[in-house]
Structure 1
Amino acid sequence: MKIGKWKLLGEKTRFTTKWWTVVERDYQTFHGKRIKWFVLKKPDAITVFCLTREGKVVAINYFRPGIQKIVLDIPAGYMNKGETPLESAKRELLEETGFKAEKWVKLGKFAGNAQGDTLMLHAYLAMDGYKAGSQNLDHGEEIEVKLFTLRQLMQKIKQGKFVDSTRIAVAYLALQKLGKLKLSLHRKMPLSLTKEKIHGLDQKE
């Protein structure tokens, strides 16, 4: 079947919160069908894979109301109006964990849910991280900071402790950027950690 971009015929706001707006869109598909689609309009967001000077990954532990579980994650949050993605990433890392970092590399920009919302996620690798102060959490935020070696992080992902698919993807991109992933022809283990050091730091547990 040949496909093409749908034509947006109209849009109505159905519900608004502090962060999100629910809209109902009227589309005409490439083949002429009329479709109603509900979309969440959200501000863009950032997420940070931060590696400390000691070679540890800065992770966070918190309760997620959507799935009603305490999960592991990496720092993330919505961008404030007027912020650049990098400014937002630095702010969120400091607010949620009390950490800063000397080196920053953008890993990419991704859709978290291309079917249902407008949010684009800006992902960063932060290196040479260090403790710079205390957490400065928003109302309702309760976050525990955790530090893991790269190998421990991979184990947590395999154990299902990290449940957000976008964060898992960002973690793999960060490991690739750091030169810590290698491909294998072994069917059961297509990806594995390399044994090289990062910034001269031994990744021993």
Structure 2
Amino acid sequence: MTKSPLAPWTVNSSTTVIKNRWIDLRAEDCTTPAGVSISPYYVLRYPDWAHTVCLDSVDRICVISQYRHGAARTMMELPGGVIEAGEDPLDAAKRELREETGIRGTQWRACGTYRTNPATHTNSVHVFACRVDSVESTAFDAAEDIRQQFLTLSELRAAIDSGDFGHLLHVGAVCRALNLI
């Protein structure tokens, strides 16, 4: 038996709560298809992100470590970041990998595009995989302090288990990319 698709909510009004270079938050007055009013419902607008699973010649995975203030700790993650306005996701992934690690990749492969948090966020994350081609100097943003290293798959699993590599978007990206490589 085929069911009809779920209907979207109706947005009756939308008000920007705060918008600056770090956050774009709006409050919406919504009505569900069943007529239930939900107000305010908060929505965060972010640009899309690009993350890269980069493997070296012996299949170790490149991870970066940086302080994450929301978690109040240093976290291991994949190289990646914001896709600039008008930038192609693959170009953003290549740029972020080069800026954060100095790595120029080869054998690039798209691994999918996924919603970051569809309940409240408007953006997607684009996941790519590549191999190390060459290593140059890094180009951090002024506020970035990043360290990089290569981990074996068992070392990465241990970092996931300990929470040191604990960003779920990055864990999912690794799982997806390694299934496609």
What TM-score do you get using the length of structure 1 for normalisation? 0.81
Q: Report if the CA contact (8 A) 1:46-1:88 is conserved.
A: yes
What is the aligned length? 176
| Displacement after TM superposition at 1:9 (Å) | 1.8
Cα contact 1:53–1:130 (8 A) shared by 2: no
- Cα shift readout 1:25-74 (whole Å, capped 9, x = no counterpart): 12110101121211111111111111123322110011000010111111
Counterpart of 1:103?
107
1:112-148 per-position Cα deviation (integer Å, ceiling 9, x unaligned): 1111211211111112x13431110012100001111
Q: How does 1:1-205 map to 2 (within 5 A)?
A: 3-36=6-39, 37-127=41-131, 129-178=132-181
CA distance in 2, matches of 1:7, 1:106: 34
Where structure 1 has 5 or more consecutive residues not aligned to the other structure, the ranges are: 179-205
Q: Residue 50 of structure 2 aligns to which amino acid in structure 1?
A: I
Conserved in 2, the CA contact under 8 Å of 1:97 and 1:145?
A: yes
Give the Cα–Cα distance (whole angstroms) in 1 for the partners of residues 12 and 93 of structure 2. 36
Alpha-carbon distance in structure 2 between the residues aligned to 1:20 and 1:103? 35
Contact 1:107 1:123 in 2 (8 A): yes
How far apart, in 2, do the equivalents of 1:8 and 1:104 lie?
40
Kindly report the root-mean-square deviation, in angstroms, between the aligned alpha carbons of the 2 structures: 1.5
Q: Is the 8 A contact 2:156 2:165 kept in 1?
A: no
Listed as ranges, the gaps of 5+ residues in structure 2 are: none
Partners of 2:134 and 2:57 in 1: CA distance: 10
Paired-residue identity, %? 27
